[in-house]
Structure 1
């Protein structure tokens, strides 16, 4: 490993810290049997070994079938790796305080913790992973729920070969229209390759000379050959790479990373958590002679780019969700106290065996845990009605005080007019309740979090718990939808209510205030501006401040409205939104 990692390697840094880690690494690394089923221990007679023997063949078969290089189960709170299909030095270590706390696997655990939504899948880019001899590895992960509770994290290790299988295929370059010099590859935002170079495959010695000619150090060149990969080692800082990273798609003659003229077709490749560019290049002389070859080549490139996008999109959302969905469902049934669990797997295969094991576990534990879990569920539900989900976790841990500075968020404030004119409290209460329920629904749909407010004021924030780069657009979209909802409620309940809406963006502080009882409060200049902003609006009008105007002036018809003065602050200019047919589209 020392050949692949910079700096001196001290053995003590990699020793397991806890007694449990030492025990597991001894039995499953030092004193293990490496078979077709992976690392097993002939000497471990613990309860862990019994569960390992029951589940390990299924998990091992799962990653082999889908082409991943490892499968991890990680404790959500402690960050400890409680299981891995292939036992490497990272097995049984802590990703919070152990030797791999700065690794890509630790990064994906942090990403899931920061956004632990049910069904959300996180991905982190390729990074040298020391337990695999510093080979480049990417990771996918999703939280594991037991009912409403997060009990762990499921992570998959993805080697570059998954991506190479699409770009390189069977290395039949000419049959695929790439000729003698063409290649398709992916580059990351650090201008380093994320896939294998064709030159390394075709002529390793010539590629070695190429790397030296472009100025790579001898250490980097040796590392390419030790790992037999160009991923994260070959720089491609060319005009095409820079343009694709800037969001451009084009085809032109450029100088490649060797300084030779090539015909380059490039495009950005944007996925949640990744910022890549895909390039298809061929030497200029070969690409332009004859023209028919060029046509085949370009058509092939378009198909390949489409396949890459489809492959990675499907990979993130579907690759491993389907095989484990039945396991998650069975866990939820176990939490609810059911003893007859059906995982929809009949027969003698691995999933059928796993289902029967779940049934036995349910009969053993459901009665003992039911009362306690029901009580915890009640408390959890009450807390989530008051606090954002990330704050609930901190509150339960006993943190005090709990306060965060929100650097960039959008605050939507609306004032409902016309409630006092109705003498029938039942009729107006029903209409007002329906209106607020619909406001909550559309806010949550677009990622806004409603806040508890008094009287006729409605306030929701985008960017409070989760980060959205388009939070200003989402805030305006919700404002537009609220006006449509108002029109529908007025018609349905035969009332005549109106709205004054303000949308502002800025920083503020959010925290838990008080003890018995406690409340969740937002304060700061941005909140003060947002609360007063509806006063500037006409009925059924949306008024925005300069941060919103500057971001969305090219997408919406915004007209100068006036200004707003808040005590202790400078006068702020305002604009109002001219009515539109539909809000600008945004992914929700």
Structure 2
């Protein structure tokens, strides 16, 4: 019987351990992959945002405004220029001998050089003097003045170094300036687009042309347009994306400045500069971008590390052989590698989640996917790793657990055989067991003896031991539940004082930030759903608030159906409590925005923040409640009520301490005991 019980217990423990352990390891794998996806998403979003901000700074600067004016004037002056027959032949040879053959070789399509040959006198003049016959862009970037004495060359001599420095430092592929009629009046690399017109010339169907029209028609000098990648013929069919903005001042647009984004920069972010292993993605993990056409917008890891195996795998998974060969040839997968997988499709539909699916390489992978929040681009991000690697820890755990159970069963069996050879008198066993119980060990039991009085006594003892153990377990369980419940009602230090017998517990706290938040629009939302779903939705929102509060050092004090009261510096004094509370208010507003985006709702928050001295303590006798009161609490509540509309409203004291970090606008005034006070709104 001892042997059977021991073996059965070992098996049960092993099964429970396997289920619990394997689930935990799987969850850890998903969590790690999700964290990697979020990290990469933040990096690529910040890269685009920083690029957009830089674009606005450049386009509104005096240098860019003067450059557009100078190049446009120089370009217009060249429209009356004339080239000699030999000079015209030299321009034509750029297209017949270099550009058209190379574009044909790169694209695989026959190229007619006359379709790209510049027609305007200014374009032909500039390409003769600046465009390298072999399309050596390094040479043209370094060239400041052709020495022809034209106004355009004088402008290039003055501004080429400025744009060359931007391109070199920030990794752009090219910089263009366009006048208000669509002429490319300047190119840093002096490629074949120099002097052409994006509205009437050979590149009028490109995203450069459509982006130019949208930028020019925006009538906003701080407008920024970012385009998706497309195959750009002046770059010999290589993928190109543009970021552009109007150039001008005082509301008058004089041209458009466009920078060609670097694929290498995007690939560097998505590959962590080829540091996948150090980034926690092991030997098979990667992150990549995809567009609405379900083609990659970044490079594949396997293409970099093992091109031959990559070509075999993607072809086996359904990629056309010529496409796979092209990817290996150009060492890139942007606009080439299809990723028509379920996660990409769900992400394009606006969903965020994880899944196990077959990757574009044909391997089973766990995947974390999400759409990217980049204005003007419908890109999604996917993080993946082969299940064989991701769940390797689960397999190792299972193997080790099986070996441990087998070893345990063998040990138990051996011990049982030994004990079977030894007869210990029942009374001694029982005396020893009683002494253990007396010492507080309620888990002790005596082996069952023969069917006699001693055997009955042993059984009775075992029953008593089990009963005591169960009762003690119930008592411990109830004690734990009571402890958990008490800690949900009040902070730990207050709970400790209450358990020690204090009946009147109150504290005064100095320099505490207080936040009142009202959920606006929830009644309208709740009117259309059943009560159970309404409560579940509300709990989801509150749980997100509580998680953000715990993460940012803010303490949740009280939650009502449409209200939320929180403090910072109450339980744990913090010198930066106002900053934390302002950041927390911005964070819960983002939570509501994400909730609206996911559920197509129109909820908003009306938030009031004040800081000062507050009191806290236990209220009531038979029904305890932990509460907070004081002038700061009252003022925070009044501040958020100054307007019926949603917004983040703060008192004068909060604004005084945060005016260097946050933009405030005056919202209203309220009367307080100390006089009239201005209420400010965070923008």
Structure 2-normalised TM-score?
0.42
Larger of the two Rg values belongs to structure: 2
Higher relative contact order, chain-length normalized (CA < 8 Å, sep 6+): 2
Choose between structure 1 and 2: higher strand proportion: 1
The two structures have a TM-score, normalised by structure 1, of: 0.49
Structure with the larger helix share: 2
